[in-house]
Amino acid sequence: MFDLIQEILKGDEKNNLEQFVNLLRQLEKKYLLRNEILNSFHDYCQKQENYDHLYHSSDLSKLVYFTQEIILDTESLCLVVRPQIATQQAYRLLEDFTVEAISIQELLNLRDRLVNRYHPQEGEVLKIDFQPFYDYSPVIRDPKNIGKGVAFLNRYLSSKLFDDSRQWQDALFNFLRLHRYNDAQLLINERIQTQQQLSNCVKRALILLGKYPADTAYKNFCTELQNLGFEPGWGNTAHRVQETLEMLDQLIDSPDHQVLEDFISRIPMIFRILLVSPHGWFGQEGVLGRPDTGGQVVYILDQVKGLEKQIQDNIKLSGLDVLNIEPKVIVLTRLIPNSEDTTCHQRLEKIYDTDNAWILRVPFREYNPQITQNWISRFEIWPYLETFAIDAEQELLEQLQGKPDLIVGNYSDGNLVAFLLARRMNVTQCIIAHALEKSKYLFSNLYWQDLEDKYHFSLQFTADLIAMNGANFIVSSTYQEIVGTQDSVGQYESYQSFTMPDLYHVLSGIELFSPKFNIVPPGVNEDVYFPYSRIEGRNLSDRSRLENLLFTLEDATQVFGKLADPSKRPLFSMARLDRIKNLTGLAECFGKSKELQERCNLILIAGKLKSEDSTDHEEISEIEKLYQIIDQYDLHGKIRWLGVRLSKDDSGEVYRVIGDHQGIFVQPALFEAFGLTILEAMISGLPTFATRFGGPLEIIQDQINGFYINPTDHTEMAEIILKFISKCDQNPNYWNEISQRSQERVYSNYTWKIHTNRLLSLAKIYSFWNYISKEQREELLRYTESLFHLIYKPRAKMLLEKHMHRH
Ligand code: UDP
Ligand code: LCN
C-alpha cells in the first residue's frame, strides 16, 4: 500500500488526490467511513473528464477501494487501509503531500485526539496486547484458511508427532491413559506402562482381532483385549476396534493429519456438556420474540438435542454401552423469579425430546430485589455474572455428578461465565458469539463514554476480549463473522485493535490467524421445518387454522389489515421489530413499488401490534414507523401485519402455508450475523431473498438457491423480486426450481447432524491440544484474568452500585 501511495504521489494522479482531499475537507467532517469515502470519490470522479479511468482503474481508485477510514486532522490526513482481509495499515499524508506509515499506537492516539480524549501529559493509557502470547503458538498464513483451525492444527500436531516423536508420542500415550468414566478406566489399563509397550500391544491386539469375524460384538473378546491392556472405548465390534487400533498404529509409526483427526474424534471423552446462556428468557415456550431472545435460544435448544443424540451414538459405536453411561447436557441460565408467563422461575426444566438434557436455572444474588427478581436487559447484567458462576459451579457439580467434559458459552455474557467456570474447573472451553455487539453500533468504542449509561460497552468489550482469548476454541457460524469480506471488517476482526478512550488501548485484541477459530454453521430443526410439499408430515387442521390467520382472520387483537385480494402471491417476512431487522424497510420498499403491490401481498409476522404493549424503545419506534408507512403509501388492503408470537410448531407450518401459495420469503435486515429464519424458509421450500449484509451472503448462492438484496436500496430490491416474479410467469416451473435448490442447499450444508458431529470432534482435538500445550496457555490465561480483576470487576462494581440505588 505504501508503494501504491508513493506511485500516486509521484505521478499524474497526485493532482486528483489533492483535489479529492480538498473535496473531503469541504465536507467539514473529521471522520469519514468507507461508504462516505466511496460516495465522495464517485461524486468527485463524475466531475472529471477521464471519469471511467479515474473511477474504475486508476491507482487512486485502488487506494480508495481499500481505505476503511479517513481521519482529517488540521495539518494532516490519516488513511486507514485494509489491503487484504484481516490486515490493517495506517498512513499519514502530510500537508506537503508526503506520506509516512504510522503505528497502531499512533493511530489510536489520533482517534483519541479526535474526540478530545488525548491527554498524554496526564500519563499513558493502559495498553492491552495479546500478541506476545500467540507468538509461541502456530498461526495460519493464508487469510482464506482462517476459520479452518482444526485442519491446520491437525497438520501441525501430526508433523510434531512425526518429527519430534519421543516427546509428542509420550504425550499422546499419557493422554490416552487419562480417560475414565466415573470409576471405570477407559482405553488403556495399567498393564501398558510405556509408549513402547503400547505400540507392541496394539500390534498384538490387531493379530488377535484378525481371528474374529468383523461383526463380532465387543463383549465376546473384551477379556482377551483387557489382558493385553485395553479397556472399553475402542469400538463395539471386532471391525470397529480393529479400525481404531489401526489408526493408532499408524499414528505411532507414520502420523498423518487425517488419521490423527479420525483417531482423536473416536476417543470417548465427552459425556457431560455444559452450555451457558445466562441473560435469561431461556425457555421452551413463550420466550421467542422478546428483546434478546431470538435465534440464540432456538440454536441452543436444537444443538442440545443434536449433541445428546450424537454422544449416544458415539457411546454405542465405541462399545461403551457395556458401562451403562448416560450422557447429560445442561443449559445453564439465570432463574427469574418474576417470570411473567414463562417457566423461567423453575430451577430445572427437562428439554423436550431428549433423554437427559436439562435447563438449570440459578438465580442472580439478590443485591437489589427490585432488579434481580426481574428480567434484566443483557446490557445491564454484568455485575451479577461472577457470583452467578460461583453459585452455579456447586449446583453443576451436583447435577452432573462431576465436572463437565466441555463448556460452551453463548453470547458475550455466557462466554464470560464459561471462561470463569472453565478456569475454576479446568475444563475445555468453547465460545460462540452469535452476534458481537461491537460492530453493530457505529463508533461503539470511540464514543463508549457517551453510550455507557445505556449499553455498558466498557464491560461487554472487556468481557469479549477475556472470553475470546481465554477460549480453547471458537465456533463461528460464518467466515465473515471472523474476518468479514473484501469490503467489510469482520466481527472478530473489529477487536484486533481499537481505542476505548481514557480506559485502554487495544494494540492486539485477538489473533485472527490463530487455529482456535472454526466455522461450524448451525442447522435447522428438521422435525419442525420441512418442505411444504411433504404433505404426509403436515397436520391438516393446523394448516387451515394458520391459513386463516395469515390471510383472512379478522381479529384486531392479533392482526392488522384486511387483504383486498388474498389470492395474490404472498411476500412474507418474520422477525422481531428491532431497528436492525428492518421490517419497516421492507414495508417501505413495498410501499414505493406500485408493481410489487399489484403482484403481491405483504405479510409480516412481527410479534406486536401496539406500542403500548412494549417497553423497548426501539420496538416502540418501529411499531409507530410501520403504521406511518402503511398510511403514507396507502397500503391498506395490501398488507397484513400479525402481532403474534408463534409457537415453534406453528412457525414451521406458517412457512409451509406460504409455500402452498407459491410465496416468497424476504429477510431485509440491515445486518444479520447468521439468520436462522433464512434456513427455515429455505428448507420449507420458499424462494428466499435475503440481505447481503452478514451471514446470508454465505448461506445463499445468489440466483442459484436464493437471492441477495441490498436493504438500503429499495428500488433495486423491488426490481430483484419483480424480476423473479416475471421469470415465474414466463416459466411456471421456475419457482419450483429455486424452491428445490433452496431445500437441497440446507440439507447438504446446514444440518444439526453435521454441526454436532463437527463440534464434538473439535472439542476432542482441542482437549488434546490443550493437554499438550498447557504451559504456554497458562501465561495467556493469567494475563486474561488480570484484565478481569483490574478492569472488568471495578466497572461491574460501579454498575452494581448504580443498580443498588435504583427503585
Ligand atoms: N421466531 C419465532 N417467532 C417469532 C420471531 C422469531 O419463532 O415471532 C424464531 C424464528 O423462527 C427463528 C428465531 O426466532 O428461529 C430468530 O432467529 P434469527 O437467527 O433469524 O434472528 P435473531 O432473532 O437471533 O437475531
Ligand atoms: C443471533 C443473531 O443475530 C442471528 O443472526 C443468529 O442466527 C442467531 O444469533 C443464532 O446464532
Residue 440 pLDDT > 90 = no
Measured in whole angstroms, how far is the alpha carbon of residue 261 from the centre of its chain?
Answer: 24
Would the ipTM clear 0.95, i.e. be above it? Answer: yes
- Choose the residue to mutate in 290, 293, 298 for probing ligand 1, maximizing ligand atoms within 8 Å of C-beta: 298
Claim to verify: residue 441 and residue 351 sit in the same structural domain: yes
- Please state which of the ranges 48-52, 533-537, 566-570 shows the lowest mean pLDDT: 48-52
User: Over the stretch 719-757, which tens digit does the pLDDT of each residue have?
Assistant: 999 999 999 999 989 999 999 999 999 999 999 999 999
Claim to verify: residue 280 and residue 219 sit in the same structural domain: no
Section 420-433 average pLDDT? 97
Pairing relationship of beta strands 600-605 and 569-574 according to DSSP bridges: parallel
CA nearest neighbour of 471 among 434, 507, 417: 417
CA angle 205, 210, 215 (to 5 degrees): 105
Claim to verify: residue 356 and residue 457 sit in the same structural domain: yes
10 φψ region: left (φ > 0), alpha (ψ -120 to 50), beta (else): alpha
CA angle 788, 791, 796 (to 5 degrees): 85
Cell 484486533 found at: 496
- Cβ contacts of residue 666 below 8 Å, gap of 6+? 571, 572, 573, 586, 688, 689, 690, 709, 721
C-alpha 676 – ligand 2 centre gap (Å): 7
pLDDT band at 464 (very low <50, low <70, confident <90, very high): very high
Residue 516 is assigned to a structural domain of this protein: no
Measured in whole angstroms, how far is the alpha carbon of residue 413 from the centre of its chain?
Answer: 14
Claim to verify: residue 589 and residue 720 sit in the same structural domain: yes
pLDDT band at 530 (very low <50, low <70, confident <90, very high): very high
How is residue 404 annotated by DSSP?
-
Claim to verify: residue 96 and residue 212 sit in the same structural domain: no
User: Nearest ligand to the C-alpha of residue 286?
Assistant: 1
Residue 776 pLDDT > 80 = no
Rounded Cα distance, 237 and 234, in Å = 9
Section 762-786 average pLDDT? 90
Give all strands (DSSP E) within 495-538, no chain letters: 498-500, 504-508, 517-519
- Cβ contacts of residue 672 below 8 Å, gap of 6+? 678, 690, 691, 693, 694, 695, 696
Starting at the edge strand found earlier in the chain, the sheet holding 504-508 runs: 126-129, 504-508, 498-500
Residue 807 is assigned to a structural domain of this protein: no
User: Over the stretch 12-33, which tens digit does the pLDDT of each residue have?
Assistant: 899 999 999 999 999 889 999 9
User: Over the stretch 281-328, which tens digit does the pLDDT of each residue have?
Assistant: 999 988 877 777 789 999 999 999 999 999 999 999 999 988 889 999
User: Nearest ligand to the C-alpha of residue 690?
Assistant: 1
pLDDT at 669: 96
pLDDT at 742: 98
Claim to verify: residue 646 and residue 708 sit in the same structural domain: yes
pLDDT band at 596 (very low <50, low <70, confident <90, very high): very high
Claim to verify: residue 611 and residue 566 sit in the same structural domain: yes
Claim to verify: residue 401 and residue 417 sit in the same structural domain: yes
Section 635-660 average pLDDT? 96
pLDDT band at 614 (very low <50, low <70, confident <90, very high): confident
Q: Is 414 in the pocket of ligand 2 (CB under 6 A)?
A: no
Residue 490 is assigned to a structural domain of this protein: no
Claim to verify: residue 304 and residue 440 sit in the same structural domain: yes
791, three cell numbers = 478492569
Claim to verify: residue 211 and residue 342 sit in the same structural domain: no
Claim to verify: residue 338 and residue 445 sit in the same structural domain: yes
Pocket around ligand 1 at a 6 A CB cut-off: 288-289, 294-296, 298, 574, 576, 605, 607, 645-646, 651, 674-677, 680
Q: What's the number of domains the chain is made of?
A: 4
User: Over the stretch 109-141, which tens digit does the pLDDT of each residue have?
Assistant: 999 999 999 999 999 999 999 999 998 888 999
CATH code of 650's domain: 3.40.50.2000
Sign of CA pseudo-dihedral 348, 342, 584, 739: positive
Contact indicator for 299, 319 with CB cutoff of 8 Å: no
Contact indicator for 739, 706 with CB cutoff of 8 Å: no
pLDDT band at 775 (very low <50, low <70, confident <90, very high): low
CATH code of 31's domain: 3.10.450.330
Residue 531 is assigned to a structural domain of this protein: no
Claim to verify: residue 551 and residue 648 sit in the same structural domain: yes
What is the domain range of residue 465? 272-469+755-802
Sign of CA pseudo-dihedral 708, 713, 718, 723: negative
What are the distances in angstroms from CA 344 to CA 117, 280, 388? 43, 8, 16
C-alpha 651 – ligand 1 centre gap (Å): 9
- Choose the residue to mutate in 437, 622, 677 for probing ligand 1, maximizing ligand atoms within 8 Å of C-beta: 677
